[in-house]
Chains A and B, each alone.
Chain A
Amino acid sequence: MSLSKAKLSRRKFLTLSGAALATATAASSLSSLKAVASSGTQSESTNSKGRKFVYSSCAICVNKCGLVAEVNNGVIRKLNPNPNFFKSRAMLCARGNAGAKVPYDPDRLKKPLIRVGERGEGKFKEVSWEEAYNYIAENVLKVIKKYENRSAIGFASTEGFQEEFFIHLANIVGSTNTVRHPTLCLASNIQGYSSVYGTFPDADILNADFVVMAGSNRAEAIITPDTIDMAKNHKKQTLVCIDPRATKTSAIADKWYPIKPGTDLALVLTMINIIISENLYDKEFVEKYTHGFPELAEHVKQYTAEWAEKECEIPASEIYWLAREFAKNAPQSVWYPGRRSSFYVNDVYYRRACAILNAIVGAFDRKGGLVPKRGIKLKKHDFEFPLYDFTKKRIDSGTLPFLNEKLPEEFKTSAGLPTDSCAYISEKDGSWVIYRDAALAGNPYPLKGLFVYKQNPVESVPNRKKTLEFLKQMDFICTIDVTMSDTAFYSDVILPESTYLERWDPAESLGGIVPIVVTRQPVIDPLFDTKSMHQITVDLAKKFYDMPEFWEDSTEDDREYLKKYIKAMDVPMEHLIEESLSGYPGAFKMLMEKGVFYLNDKPVYGKLLEDGARLKTRTGKIELYNVKYAERGLDPLPVYRKPSQGKPGQFRFVVGRHGQFTHASTQNNIYLLEAYGDYENALWINSKVALERGLRAGDKVKVISKAGEQIVKVMPTEFIRPDIVFYVHGFGRLSKGLSLVYNKGASEAAILYDYAETISGNACLHETFVDVQKV
């Protein structure tokens, strides 16, 4: 019997309480109402007697899986998977299931709050919405006037169906400084793939025969349908896992290569060399659809398997095998465009190389390869927001004198990376780490007000100390969230949002190999005095409309335009959903009755390979050699440079996901915390290394980087390389409003250093080196 962990737990339990014979008591029935009552919360919903099933979609992570909520007398009994929802393959993961408890979380924000103590002291008073709105409007105006700049107010958010209204709010206030999550995530990935294909494609895992997951840990970083297809197919599909840790993905992989961190690009360039020099590439495809093949072929000659073996610490024979098998199975071959394998300063070049690898074997826009996402076009609510004289261009764009500091020493002089400005920053997303540095430097101008929606920069942006300084220098901070995140904890005013199970959300088209449209309808009535981001934006728009001082740097026409906006948006969300779906008769009905709307449930391949089709690149072709990069002085072909190295005795700190946690947002859910298996995180360290250093499981160590230090317990393991350490994200929190994880375990943001990848502006999450000391 191999249930070692479970067994241990039971035994422990028996020894603790096995001796006492309990007296007979009448066991109460297991009604859901009782379960809710015992958790200290109670539904105020009285208008829905009896049992009902409601279609909606999950919001615990980015996937938006279809769910059917079972509701008893206005109380959620269970969230079940929606069998019609093919994107999530009719499943709901642990997080989706645990979402049933989110509205009843005792740590929820229940009323608007205004800070009364010092910032970070955690003292707030409950106020009415009107008081909160007045406070916000006054402070926004104060900042705009003082700095004569509307862009002095920043807006930070992460993806979600209501995020568009938050962006509307930024437009109404008149700021250009929206900063979103991509540069903490996949901006370099999108930039790299797009620089080759003009688009960021999906992987057709369902039909692929050969899949390489490099760093991407789809068993734990769940993405639908990829994770499910990969797990279901693993017996008939070859899965190669390349990762310095043996993640749960390695459990279903055919091969696992514990690559030396930072050398992934060497491996991919070598594979390209092998495939070209052994004539294994798709000549017809390369000839017809690509640009710059001769230059590529010449460039990669330097990257031999024997050389790569030393760089990557993967045997040359294995590299040959990998390259040959990848080409042999093409076009049903995928180098999975996931995250994490290479969060380094050269990440865009690495992603470019991955895209090129797939291109030369013809595995693009074909069944089983990389396939461009398609979408279902919805009617958009487009507005021309007011124009103000006091609006300035983004704080993180243009030439920034401090940018050189965002690169490790050995990369400052390296060719191919810009050192004065970010080459391709997104106008809407910005770059988190550069944005924060610009604000701290007050260069090019001060950033003194901040709105935060659904994001928690204190725990999600590397170098927490800097984020706290960034918040400290603000005149005004407003956070809109469901719980008291660390960022909310440091805010001046907090607006409580209704949870995803208590509100309508707009219809959204989810792009993919098979696109669908989803929405959310309330499963229960809001339990507390909360509102949706949609309502908050409309309410604040009205407030600003009524303030004459708000319009001093604008025209009466602009003010009138805002009135039109308010009129169009101040309607029930159902109307907006129906409007956006108005191009498709019956779509709204299908959405309500099946929980999903689609035009076709079968994939379409080859649209971009049709005669006359052009890719969104300069040449209209797949750019193995990027023309625009060459013009800007960037390397047009991916060039390998050795990753930076720590001092002797130091470890590289790597980041990674866990199947129970969505970044830093679900650790305070008791069910998910317990499913993780502990109430705090632990440092993964190679068993042999731990032994050498006299570290045993449970010992406490101090993890020290130049950004900060954290104390955490040790978990020696065979699942990690000797030169790296790792712990799960989202612990060691500063907010006392997160009662389960406050001060428990170690924070990742506190020790990660904040280098930036200067082509896309992405944070380099893998460029941190740490010392580990026993305490």
Chain B
Amino acid sequence: MSKKKYAIVLDDSKCIDCKACTMACKMENHVPTGLYNYRIWVAEKPIRGQFPNVKRSFQPSQCQQCENPPCVHVCPTRASYQTEDGVVLVDHDKCILCKYCMTACPYDARYVNEEIKAIDKCTFCYHRLPEGRQPACVETCPPKVRVFGDLNDPNSEVSKLLVEHETFNLKPEKGTKPKLYYIR
């Protein structure tokens, strides 16, 4: 069996900032309450123009599941690691809360989970994948902004979307090679 390479392709032009993704993630992964505790979020892009010529738009985001993850490189205890199929995870037992990974992450994608005393972040709902289930955010998203799948499978929806559409990554200059692709 060939290795998988999981990714999410997002068409954020459809996003209405309903925060279903954030909430599904909080419920699925027991993210504690607190205004700044989240694995994924929806941000409002900077306002363009002034009343009445003003345009709103949103950008959902999360851990970019980098192919070249700085968080893994800096972690002194190897709590942050990368699975064979390229998903970046945190071993909560090994985490010493030094927060190097938080500082290293260019996407601000990690938070301190005070309940388990460890750094926490998006796992692509790694525990759901063996059951053939989608990440909770993908499953619940009303307009299906998010599509999840295997880039190594040319027939997967994500692979097809990348062929059909021009996409971009966030902060490509950081050289982290994110596996979140935004449709332009």
Contacts and interface: CB of A to CB of B under 8 A. Distances in A.
Interface of A: 1-7, 9-14, 17-18, 21-28, 30, 32, 35, 38, 78-81, 89, 91-98, 100-101, 219-220, 222, 227-228, 231-232, 234-235, 246, 248-252, 256, 258, 659-660, 670-672, 674-675, 677-678, 686-688, 718-722
Contacts of A252: 13-14, 16
B93 interface: yes
A715 to B, nearest CB: 13
Contacts, number: 191
Interface centre among B34, B55, B140 (most CB of A within 10 A): B140
B16 A227 contact: yes
A232 B144 contact: yes
A3 B139 CA distance: 23
B112 interface: yes
A226 to B, nearest CB: 11
A249 B30 contact: no
Interface centre among A24, A35, A101, A256 (most CB of B within 10 A): A24
Given A27-B93, A91-B142, A251-B17, A674 B35 contact: yes
Interface string B129-145: 00000001001111110
Nearest to B11: A235
A1 B170 contact: yes
Contacts of B24: 78, 92, 97
Contacts of A11: 108
A739 to B, nearest CB: 13
A677 B140 contact: no
B19 A235 contact: no
A317 B158 CA distance: 43
B142 A9 contact: no
Given A12-B36, A25-B117, A94 B143 contact: no
Contacts of A251: 15-17, 55-58
A5 B44 contact: yes
Contacts of B49: 718
Interface stretch (B66-74, B95-103, B149-157): B95-103
A22 B43 contact: no
28 contacts: A2-B59, A3-B41, A3-B108, A6-B43, A6-B61, A10-B36, A10-B108, A14-B99, A22-B96, A22-B98, A30-B30, A78-B28, A80-B136, A94-B22, A96-B20, A97-B27, A98-B23, A100-B27, A101-B27, A220-B16, A249-B16, A251-B15, A252-B14, A258-B51, A659-B16, A671-B23, A678-B35, A718-B50
B1 interface: no
Contacts of A91: 20, 140-142, 144
A94 B93 contact: no
A92 B143 contact: no
Nearest to B22: A675
B52 to A, nearest CB: 5
3 tightest Cβ-Cβ pairs between the two chains A and B: A22-B97, A27-B92, A231-B143
B140 A97 contact: yes
Interface centre among A30, A81, A671 (most CB of B within 10 A): A30
B59 A671 contact: no
B27 A78 contact: yes
Contacts of B19: 94, 659-660, 675
Contacts of B15: 231, 251
A3 B23 contact: no
Nearest to A95: B23
Interface of B: 13-20, 22-24, 26-30, 33-36, 41, 43-47, 49-52, 54-59, 61, 77, 92-93, 95-99, 102-103, 106-108, 111-112, 115-118, 136, 139-144, 170-171
A3 B61 contact: yes
Contacts of A14: 99, 102-103
Contacts of A97: 20, 23-24, 26-27, 140
A659 B18 contact: yes
Nearest to B18: A659
Given A246-B54, A248-B18, A252-B16, 8 more contacts: A2-B45, A2-B46, A2-B59, A93-B142, A98-B27, A248-B16, A248-B17, A718-B49
A670 B108 CA distance: 23
Nearest to B133: A80
Nearest to B95: A27
B91 to A, nearest CB: 9
Contacts of A35: 30, 115
B66 to A, nearest CB: 14
Contacts of B170: 1
Interface centre among A1, A94, A234, A235 (most CB of B within 10 A): A94
Contacts of B77: 24
A249 B22 CA distance: 19
A11 B105 CA distance: 12
Interface centre among B111, B142, B144 (most CB of A within 10 A): B142
B136 A78 contact: yes
Contact of A246 (B18, B22, B56): B56
B95 to A, nearest CB: 7
Contacts of B58: 248, 251
Contacts of A677: 35
B63 to A, nearest CB: 12
A772 B26 CA distance: 38
Given A674-B35, A718-B47, A718-B49, A27 B18 contact: no
A30 B90 CA distance: 13
Nearest to A5: B43
Given A1-B170, A2-B59, A721-B51, A219 B99 contact: no
B33 A30 contact: no
A231 B27 contact: no
A3 B36 CA distance: 14
B130 to A, nearest CB: 14
A251 B45 CA distance: 11
Contacts of A718: 47, 49-51, 54
Given A22-B96, A30-B116, A89-B142, A3 B59 contact: yes
Contacts of B26: 97, 671
A719 B118 contact: no
Contacts of B103: 14, 18
Given A22-B98, A687-B51, A231 B116 contact: no
B118 A27 contact: yes
Contacts of A25: 117
Contacts of A30: 29-30, 116
Contacts of A24: 77, 95-97
A1 B171 contact: yes
A234 B142 contact: no
Contacts of B27: 78-79, 97-98, 100-101, 671
Nearest to A251: B56
Contacts of B141: 91
Contact of B30 (A32, A227, A687, A722): A32
A719 B51 contact: yes
A10 B102 CA distance: 9
A10 B105 CA distance: 11
B113 to A, nearest CB: 8
